[in-house]
Amino acid sequence: MNYLEMKNISLIRDEIKILNNINLKIDKGDFLSVIGSSGSGKST
């Protein structure tokens, strides 16, 4: 059973394609890490 599932996520910002048809599936008990430089918005 999926805890969280996202399908076909796309993001365009200022006419620049950032994400194109991204899929993400997180099952119960999985671990997910968000990484990025300081000030990049990881906690927002």
Tens place of pLDDT per residue across the chain (44 aa) = 778 999 999 999 999 999 999 999 999 999 989 999 999 888 87
pLDDT for res 41: 85
pLDDT for res 8: 97
Strand, helix or coil for residue 8: strand
20 dihedral zone (left: phi>0; alpha: psi -120 to 50; beta)? beta
Q: Look up residue 42 and give its two tokens.
A: 């990881």
Q: Give the bridge partners for 11, in sequence order.
A: 19
Backbone Cα Rg of the chain: 13
pLDDT for res 1: 72
Domains of the chain: which residue ranges? 1-30
